[in-house]
Amino acid sequence: MKPTSLAIDSAGQPLVPSSLRACFNLALRELFIADAHFGKDAVFRAPGIPVPVGSTAENLLPIDHLIAGFEPVMLMFLCDLLHARESISTLTLGALHA
């Protein structure tokens, strides 16, 4: 995925929308990510619902691809960075830090 994708004009800004819930501003080289919901698996495990570990890593993979493709100078998360308060776990924060 490279910035040569189709850009649309929004209030004078050239934006490249992505199916990965993201949008890249070609002029400012900013990448916007919407509704990441990191730590969703931790929220379900907190009350004892057995779900596999790893949804945060799965959510980070497309973002890694977006960063590699567009090479932004700034990354911004729009709404719902974490899924819920229970998302603040050692595993989730460790994955985000890495």
The overall average pLDDT reported for the chain is 82
* Other CB atoms within 10 Å distance of the CB of residue 56: 24
The model carries a pTM of 0.74
**Which positions ≥6 away from 62 have C-beta within 8 Å?**
20, 22
Mean pLDDT for 35-48 is 75
Looking at residue 2, what is its pLDDT?
54
Alpha-carbon distance 85 to 63, whole Å? Answer: 22
pLDDT band at 53 (very low <50, low <70, confident <90, very high): confident
Q: Where are the domains of the chain?
A: 8-97
* Other CB atoms within 10 Å distance of the CB of residue 11: 5
What residues form DSSP beta bridges with 62?
A: none
